[in-house]
Structures are given as C-alpha cells and as structure tokens.
Structure 1
C-alpha cells in the first residue's frame, strides 16, 4: 500500500496494444530503489518574482505563446485557442496531500493568473500529470474541452469534467475552429493505484492549426515511434519533449527518455524547434535538479544543433515562438 503513495511507481514496460503494457522487470527492484536511504534530496527553490513575458497577451498570426508553469504543465496560446497541458498546481503529485513527491519550486504561474482555458490536453493518468485538485479548479472556472487517450474519461468524470474526447493512438478529433488533434503513441504505462495498471491508455498529441503543427509528447521512453510520428503526421514546427526523470537508466529507460534521447527524438521527428519539459519540479528519480537542462544542452551541441533549436524556459516564463 505504501508504494501507492509515491506515484508514479515506474515499472519497466514497453507500450503494448490498447494500453496493455509488456513488463521488462519486477516490482521488487523498483521498490528497493525507491526506498534506498542514500537518495539525495533536491533543494527547495523560491518562485521567480517577475517571470518574463505576459501570458495574457495573444500571439500574432503565425506565432504561438508558450508559458512554462512547471513539470509538464504549459499554457499554450494561439490567436484563436488557449490550451493547458497536464496541469498540476498542487504541492504534491500524490493521491494524498500529506505524502508523496513534493514540489521543489512553486508553479511558475498560479492558475488564478492564467487566461480562460479552452482546451485541456491530458496525456495519461499518473499523479504528476492528472491532478484532481487542479482539474476541479479548472472545471469550476472554465469548463474546458478535454482531449485524452482511451480510458481516462472515467477519472475526469470524478472532478466534473464531462466535455471529454477519448482517442486511441492515431485517433483524431477536430475542434470548432478547425484545429485537429491526433493522439500519438508513447512508450510508457498508466496507473493510479496498485490495481489499475494498464487500464487506460497514455500518449502524446499533435495539434494542427492551419499550416502549422505543435507536438506535446506526454511521457515516453525512446523508440522508433518518434520517427513514425513525423512520417505519418508531418514534422512539428514546435515540439514539447520531456528531458527529466531518467536515472537510474536500468529502471527508467523503458518509460522516460534522457536528454540525449530527447534530442534524438527532436531530430527523428524533424521538429523545427523544441522545448524541454518534465524536469526541475518533482523529484521522481535520481538525477540532480539541474542536470536535465545541462545534459540537454550538451546533447544538442553534440548533435550539431543551433542553441535555439532545443531550449528550456524559466519557471513562469512566457515566450513567443514563430511557427
């Protein structure tokens, strides 16, 4: 029962068909790693008192405004659409408020300071991506449309979110403004308890608006699916790719890319620009808090990419990207 209070408990798996993971390791080795006494804590970081940019300012045509709230939570603004990804504003990513991974830094922007949300993209049901208190607050204020992989609507109904579209991998839906959203494959797994592993699907999202595409990866290990996404859907103009929660590799490689693999994913998809995510907020794994951006920059240089081809944003920073 204790393991359920330290979510997510990673299990080495590969993505099987229809949300059925194929295990590559056992739970005992995971729990031994989780409860090691020599794991180093992260420092607690203060909020940025004046993060750069204005999340309320709409981008001009041909551009997108991106605000990094923390972990995998981003505010993405197009001229006709405001999107929030995997929103987590709580102090812990856990089924309880008194245990589980605690934030190393507060959200870069408070929910009350964000504009009205039109669309939620929810990649999977882990507690660091699907946070019920945050979702309740969003539903009460904005009641947005939600797009998510198969099997997650039952969770969202518990917080009153009913405008939900569930999609299988490669499934597509179209919004009233013409924006299309396709759920894409990922190497990961799902679970909110010890008893519901693999009962819902996980994935990423490709948004197409006009001639431009934006990709949000969710969580994933490395694999051929990155190239397949680019081949089937076209290369994204902007991709949001995880770079953190990757050590130790013998446990994490199946479900989380490391920074070098994130850069390889950027190249495999043919992304024009990418933003790193899933780092520096919750201590889920063993790497130091500052390692993911540093290692990503080294991998970017080793791949011969320009400094602005793959970047990270400061906590709460809002930045315009040309599409």
Structure 2
C-alpha cells in the first residue's frame, strides 16, 4: 500500500469562507462561469420543468437477510441509494460494522410531504440493522445526510460519526454522541480500523444560503484484512488518480452511477455509468459495487437505465462491477492465511 505524496495531489479547496473543487482535477480544467445564485436558479427552473416520471413504486424484490462475516471476510450489503452496510469479520470479536450515508426516510427532503420519494424500500429493515460502530457521512445533501435516520442511530448506541469539515453543525442536530471531521487526506484510527477522508468533485448545501459552506468527499476504510473505498457523491475527475497513488490496492470500490441527466450541468457533480467505469479503471480495485441509483428520482434518466448502461459498459471484464438489488450482499473472501 502506497501513501506517498505526488505533485498536485492536494491542491487548495477552501477560500476561507467556502469550499470549492480544484480546477486542476476537472477533466476540462475549467471553472464554471456561473455564480452560485445563477446555478441555483438554473437548477430550480429545471426541477420545475416537465421531466420523465419514475413509477411510484417497483414490484417487490425478494427478501434478504443479514449474515455475520467470517474472520477476515467483509460483507457489503446494498441497502439503497448511497446506504451500504459494511461488516468486517474479526477473530474472537464482534464484527466491525460501518454504515455509509444512512437514509431510511421515505423522502430525501427538508419537507415530510414534498420532495423526492422512495420508489424502492430499504433492502434491510431499520429494525434488523445490527449495532453500528461507525457512521460515515460524505456530505450534507438530503439524500446522504438524513437527520431522522441519524437520530434513531444515535439513540440505538454510541456510534462514532465521521464526516468532512463544516458538517458538524448539521449532525449535532441529530444528537449523535461523537462526531469527528476529517479534511481531505486526513486519517483517524477507530474501532481497530484506519479511516481516511478522500477528495470528491461535488458540492454541498441544505438551504439556498449555505452553499459549499461544508466540505464533501469519500472515505477509505483499512482493516487488517481489507481496504474499501466509498466514493460518496462525485463527478469524474483526476482526483481518482490521486486516490490511486495513495492506495494502490483496493479490495472493493463503492462508486456512484446515477443522477446524471441532464448532462450539461450534472456532469460537474455526478458520474454517469461510463465514467464510473473509467473511475474503476483508474482505481484498479479487485471489484466494485454501484450506488446512487434506482431509489429516489433526483434527475431525468429512466429508473433502470444506470444499471443497464453499467452492464453494457462493463461487459467482458475479468473483475466484477455490480449493480446489486436493494438488500443484496457482496462478499469479499478472507485472505488465504485467514481460512
């Protein structure tokens, strides 16, 4: 595993008031000429326009149950959208359990009766979740930071919530007992694992008045046996090269594939399936699983399109990159010495 610095792998991303995406990491090396107010108006105009509508619900999927991992094994369960339950088996101890961007609410919205609504239920019922040791929150958008879910998790145990700078003020409203902010490339030891914050090309806001006041990013989780990368929300860019330069061995990459249309401005914050494959090729993980598709209608692509395009773009590859059903689990086997 490689952790050495390379040229321009940590360019400035904070101007003293707001965070920003380093232009050198953009594929076109360009800065948007629009002001935040102009971008907000354009997005609002698009949101209010006639858009292809997803169905209110999809046919029920087969039920899934959780199992405990063997020592050295990692089980990654896709609960829905960007919510993944990671269970790392440990010899003679309870598994380490980490949940990413937990959202179990019916809507990802500041309003109870308005905003994107689920078309697929969580793949695992909230009541069936095992005790959670660590919560990873990639940024403050409502489809990733769900305060009602976080409040219940806070009451169920004593989880440590790890996030990026500027998000503490939001998370404190959920009553989480422990919150730790990590800037890009910062690391901490927690519950026997090393957690590092990684860059992403995205943005943040929970109101029209706090745009980019909090940072966004992903995480690398390193245990004794496995290394898992959770990308959070991100566009395609050269930050994936910087991540690969530091972690040349990744067992599992969790990459977003949805919410990419209309492409003229979604390309700056979200990858489409073909770009997710490019990220896979840059990171060179042993395998990957897809997130950020098929649960909430946030953009214009058809509900089944991201997974279909991923399968088409990734066909005939030796290493798997799967779009799982909600509740389905991907197993990372123990290393040979742990069998």
What residue in structure 1 maps to residue 270 of structure 2?
256
Is 1:128 the counterpart of 2:143 in the alignment? yes
Q: Of 94, 103, 106, which residue of structure 1 is paired with 2:121?
A: 106
CA distance in 1, matches of 2:281, 2:51: 36
- 2:322 corresponds, among 308, 311, 321, to 311
Instruction: Say if 1:116 and 1:176 are closer, same or farther in 2 by CA, change over 3 A.
Output: closer
CA contact (8 A) 1:63 1:78 kept: yes
Pairing 1:135-214 to 2, within 5 Å after superposition: 135-177=150-192, 179-214=193-228
CA distance in 2, matches of 1:119, 1:290: 31
CA shift, 1:193, in A, is 0.4
| Partner Cα separation in structure 2 for residue 148 and residue 260 of structure 1 | 28
CA distance in structure 1 between the partners assigned to 2:312 and 2:112 by the alignment? 37
In the alignment, which residue of structure 2 is the partner of 1:68? 78
**Secondary structure of 2:145's aligned partner:** coil
Q: 2:54 aligns with which of 17, 31, 41?
A: 41
Query: Counterpart in 2 of 1:21?
Result: 20
Tell me if structure 2 keeps the 8 A contact 1:187–1:255.
Answer: yes
Distance in 2 of aligned mates of 1:242 and 1:90? 20
Find out whether 1:30 has 2:29 as its counterpart.
no
Query: Which digits, 9 at most, give the CA deviation of each residue in 1:26-82, with x for residues without a partner?
Result: 32322222111243333411442422xx32x22123321111110000111001300
Report which of the two structures shows the higher radius of gyration computed on alpha carbons. Answer: 2
Aligned length: 302
Question: Which residue number in structure 1 is paired with residue 4 of structure 2?
Answer: none
Deviation at 1:298, TM superposition (A): 1.1
TM-score (norm: length of structure 2): 0.85
Q: Secondary structure at the match of 1:130?
A: coil
Conservation of the 8 A alpha-carbon contact between 1:156 and 1:162: no
CA distance in 1, matches of 2:60, 2:99: 20
Contact 2:133–2:191 under 8 Å retained in 1? no
Structure 1: runs of 5+ lacking an equivalent: 1-14
Give how far 1:232 is off: 1.4
Q: Give the Cα separation in 2 of the matches to 1:270 and 1:71.
A: 23
Distance 2:321 2:77 in 1: 16
CA deviation after TM superposition for structure 1 residue 234, in Å = 2.5
- Cα deviation for residue 143 of structure 1 reads 2.6
1:294 counterpart (283, 289, 308): 308
Runs of 4+ in structure 1 off by over 3 angstroms are none
- 2:284 paired with 1:285: no
